[in-house]
């Protein structure tokens, strides 16, 4: 028998497949409720069943239920599930959607209170960037030094914290905020003049209206008898404040999430919203969903044991409905290349026979790590896809580097010429490029010769002529470096990046994306060392990019751990568990203990994507930035429970003494052959 809060027997179809904790979460409808939903615990089923129950029990009409998600996909899935449960009774769920879609709806109704008309425009990221560029131009701000995307990221951060320009308190440690604040003021005024707002404004304006207009606040806080929030651990300050204002009257707010999966602090998420729920909403109840329907017990035990090392968490103990399953594999490899080969061999020789490639995933900490896997997969013909990213040799910065090398190698490569002639900026505009192309076509010559002829004929504007001449002279100098001076092709690219200004462009431009671009270029330099000369490398790139990678049928999935959240696979590989890479050095340097705990939560997310098999690996040596480095095993490996692990032969206890391997090794080396990691490996395999 199932009972509600009033101890009355209820018997609804949608409750039959729920476990006891899930039923409790559905039936507890009065007062604030925090549902701590562990990975794979069926939180979406609970949320949708709860909505169905509220409507079926006539606790509220559909339009009196506010249900908030982070993605349109999640909102559509919830709508579909509730409709399936209740048929036509769910048609009135007009307040089920994302934070932004619901706030846009509210703002349309009360636009005048925010200084807007109801037909205001919501501008996208491209429009935002154009507007900021125009403002920077008028204010004499160099966008080469301070990228519009970075300016907008700071403005967005202020909006996430609830700050209009007049409320911003400048962080004195950030040298850029003092410059950005006046731009923020102009930006907001421009938006008002245009009768427009950006995505950050949608929530910020709504909160401002609800705070300043008690009559409007009363309308919605009275109407929304029940509020449900998905992925509450990912909310930022302004989102949590908006929810609190709307829950003021009835206090029937139900937030679902998992503090152990809070991995988005870099985009404004504040885990304290989750941890301090009971302080914000008095007399709240906490229900833990600890039964996992996804992973085997060994996988859960490893993940739970690891995350238990975090201090800032609500805490829960996951149990599975599945069998104990295979032990989690821990593999050590000689180097990163061997790691890619080892993963491919495992897929080809063992896993492929039993599992669909679509159900196999490789989760990396940083996107540059995909390169070695892509290289080897292409070599052996193992089909793959990059989820949430671009394949290595198709990334813009890599194509730029290759274009420079192609043009140096042969001056007739007009495609390469067109890509890099004004990259980085050399005051060579579209009209000049058009003129070069027209002269080339008319005279049957390549673009480089065409450029030289136009300079000779004095048909190029003086300012443009300086930039074009400089580019052409550098190109000739690099050809001499390669041909006459016999410069190594790796050194050549390093020289090109320095002398062209490309490296400086990425380093000096304050833009979050540039850090990844620099990492990718460093990985490219590492890749080039595997080839004897420039010719063989360019041939490799041409073949790699010309191969039809859209094989029909199944593909192995490559993605970052951040991108894997919410997904699940039969088999999950987790390579590169080495200090500095994972946990990532930058995260620890910038955020200290909080950064380390978020990295550990990321590890937890990665492990719990696996349903049946999880394989963790690290390399003793890694070719990084053109040099061999001796890697240190990730500190997270020490936190994994021995009884749930299966280690490869490197860890065989009968051949190992205490001095042979130490997770906390600290060595310096110049090359792979001399490295302690390599020596240990040789000793082990003899």
Between CA 477 and CA 403 the distance in angstroms is 16
* 119-128, long-range: CB < 8 A, 24+ apart: 119/195, 120/195, 120/196, 120/197, 121/194, 121/195, 121/196, 121/197, 122/196, 122/197, 122/198, 122/199, 122/202, 123/191, 123/194, 123/196, 123/197, 123/198, 125/152, 128/152, 128/198
DSSP state of 62: G
SS3 391: coil
Using alpha carbons, select from 529, 524, 264, 532 the residue that is nearest to residue 370: 524
Q: What is the DSSP secondary structure assignment for residue 327, as one 8-state letter? A: P
- Report the C-alpha gap between 577 and 252 in whole angstroms: 43
Q: Is 430 helix (H, G, I), strand (E, B) or coil?
A: helix
Three-point CA angle 526, 528, 532, nearest 5°: 130
Q: What's the chain's length in residues?
A: 686
b/e sequence 272-308, b meaning 16+ C-beta within 10 Å: ebbbebeebbeebbebbbbbbebbbbbbbbbbbebbb
Report which DSSP code applies to 661: -
Rounded Cα gap, residues 370 and 365, in angstroms: 10
β-strand partners of 36? 257, 288
**Residue 20: which of 41, 34, 39, 48 has the closest Cα?**
41
Range list of H helices, 291-335: 297-307
H helix or E strand, kind and range, residue 333: strand 328-335
From 310, 298, 286, 302, select the one nearest 37 (Cα to Cα). 286
Tokens of 531: 């080839």
CB of 337 within 8 A of CB of 575? no
On whether the CB atoms of residues 130 and 191 are closer than 8 A, the answer is no
Question: What are the structure tokens assigned to 576, written together?
Answer: 């590169």
Phi, psi for residue 255 in degrees, rounded to 5? -110, 130
Q: For residues 2 and 75, what is the distance between their CA atoms, to the nearest angstrom?
A: 28
Strand partners, 645: 328
Which residues are designated catalytic?
43-44, 230-231, 261, 609
């Amino acid at each position: 028998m199932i009972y509600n809060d009033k101890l009355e027997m209820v018997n609804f179809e949608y409750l039959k497949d729920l476990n006891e904790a899930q039923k409790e979460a559905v039936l507890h409808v009065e007062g604030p409720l925090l549902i701590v939903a562990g990975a794979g615990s069926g939180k979406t089923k609970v949320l949708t069943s709860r909505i169905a129950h509220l409507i079926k029990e006539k606790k509220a009409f559909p339009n009196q239920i506010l249900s908030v998600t982070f993605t349109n996909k999640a909102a559509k899935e919830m709508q579909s599930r509730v409709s399936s449960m209740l048929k036509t009774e769910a048609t009135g769920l007009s307040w089920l959607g994302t934070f932004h879609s619901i706030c846009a709806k509210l703002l349309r109704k009360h636009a005048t209170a925010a200084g807007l008309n109801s037909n205001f425009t919501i501008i996208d990221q491209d429009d935002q960037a154009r507007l900021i560029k125009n403002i920077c131009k008028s204010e004499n701000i160099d966008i080469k030094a301070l990228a519009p995307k970075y300016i907008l990221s700071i403005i967005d951060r202020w909006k996430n914290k609830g700050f209009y320009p007049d409320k911003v308190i400048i962080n004195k440690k950030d040298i850029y905020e003092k410059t950005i604040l006046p731009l923020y003021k102009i930006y907001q005024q421009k938006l008002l003049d245009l009768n427009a707002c950006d995505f950050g404004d949608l929530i910020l304006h709504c909160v401002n209206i609800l705070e300043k207009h008690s009559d409007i606040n009363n309308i919605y806080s009275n109407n929304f008898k029940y509020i449900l929030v998905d992925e509450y651990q990912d909310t930022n300050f302004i989102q949590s404040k908006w929810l609190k204002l709307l829950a003021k009257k009835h206090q029937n707010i139900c937030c679902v999430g998992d503090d152990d999966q809070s991995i988005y602090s870099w985009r404004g998420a504040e885990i304290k919203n989750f941890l301090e729920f009971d302080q914000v909403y008095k007399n709240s109840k906490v229900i833990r969903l600890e039964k996992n329907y996804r992973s085997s017990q060994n996988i859960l035990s490893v993940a739970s044991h690891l995350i238990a090392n975090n201090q800032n968490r609500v805490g829960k103990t996951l149990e599975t409905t599945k069998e104990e399953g295979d032990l989690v594999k821990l593999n050590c490899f000689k180097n990163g290349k061997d790691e890619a080969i080892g993963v491919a061999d495992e897929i080809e020789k063992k896993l492929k026979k039993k599992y669909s490639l679509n159900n196999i995933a490789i989760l990396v900490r940083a996107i540059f790590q995909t390169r070695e896997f892509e290289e080897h997969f292409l070599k052996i013909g193992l089909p793959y896809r990059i989820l949430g990213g671009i394949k290595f040799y198709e990334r813009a910065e890599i194509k730029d580097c290759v274009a420079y090398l192609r043009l140096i190698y042969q001056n007739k490569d007009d495609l390469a010429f067109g890509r890099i002639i004004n990259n980085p900026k050399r005051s060579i505009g579209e009209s000049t490029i058009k003129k070069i192309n027209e002269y080339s076509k008319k005279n049957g010559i390549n673009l480089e010769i065409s450029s030289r002829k136009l300079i000779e004929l004095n048909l190029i504007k003086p300012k443009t002529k300086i930039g074009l001449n400089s580019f052409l002279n550098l190109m000739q100098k690099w050809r001499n470096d390669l041909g006459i001076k016999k410069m190594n092709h790796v050194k050549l690219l390093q020289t090109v990046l320095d002398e062209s200004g490309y490296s400086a462009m990425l380093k000096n431009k304050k833009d979050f994306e540039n850090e990844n671009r620099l990492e990718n270029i460093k990985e490219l330099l590492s890749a080039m060392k595997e080839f004897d000369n420039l010719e063989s490398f360019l041939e490799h790139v041409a073949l790699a990019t010309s191969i039809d990678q859209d094989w029909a049928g199944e593909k192995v999935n490559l993605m970052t751990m951040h991108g894997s959240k919410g997904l699940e696979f039969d088999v999950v590989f987790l390579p590169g568990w080495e200090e500095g890479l994972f946990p990532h050095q930058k995260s620890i340097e910038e955020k200290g203990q909080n950064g380390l705990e978020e990295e550990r939560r990321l590890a937890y997310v990665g492990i719990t994507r696996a349903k049946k098999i999880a394989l963790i690996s690290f390399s003793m040596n890694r070719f990084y930035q053109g040099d061999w480095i001796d890697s240190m095993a990730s500190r997270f490996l020490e936190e994994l429970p021995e009884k749930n692990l299966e280690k490869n032969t490197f860890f065989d206890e009968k051949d190992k003494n205490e001095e042979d391997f130490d997770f906390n090794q600290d060595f310096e080396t110049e090359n792979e052959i001399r490295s302690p990691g390599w020596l240990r490996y040789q000793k082990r395999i003899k």
